[in-house]
């Protein structure tokens, strides 16, 4: 979700140092930066070009092991769509909205 938020932001540059600071736990930041250094990505920043992934950014695809899929516009995450992390790598997704359509 953090990567999607960054890609959908209006910032023209991606700074890996800022990304780590804004989205990662303190304990994970140094290993993230080390891995980015090993991949030879510039940690200070690079221009963001989303042309190749723009169509994928219009909807966030949340897929579950059971086959359940939730598609949502990025702006709805955190408001209309609430994702709560649970134990054992599980998550609970709550959608609060007017039901418009259901088909099978």
Give domain limits for the chain.
2-47, 59-95
Residue 9 has a pLDDT of 67
| Residue 6 scores a pLDDT above 80 | no
In the chain, where does DSSP find H-type helix? 2-8, 16-23, 26-38, 54-57
Q: What is the mean pLDDT of residues 59-86?
A: 88
Query: Which of 36-50, 58-72, 83-97 shows the highest mean pLDDT?
Result: 83-97
Share of the chain above pLDDT 70, in %: 83
Spatial distance between the Cα atoms of 62 and 72, rounded to a whole number of angstroms? 8
3-state secondary structure of 37: helix
């Amino acid at each position: 979700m953090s990567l999607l938020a960054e890609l959908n932001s209006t910032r023209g540059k991606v700074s890996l140092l800022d990304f780590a600071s804004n989205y990662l736990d303190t304990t994970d930041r140094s290993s993230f930066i080390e891995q980015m250094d090993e991949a030879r990505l510039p940690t200070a920043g690079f221009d963001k070009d989303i042309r190749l992934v723009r169509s994928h950014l219009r909807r966030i695809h949340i897929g579950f092991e059971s086959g359940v899929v939730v598609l949502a516009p990025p702006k709805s995450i955190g408001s209309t769509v609430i994702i709560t992390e649970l134990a054992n790598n599980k998550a609970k997704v709550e959608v609060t909205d007017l039901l418009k359509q259901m088909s099978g």
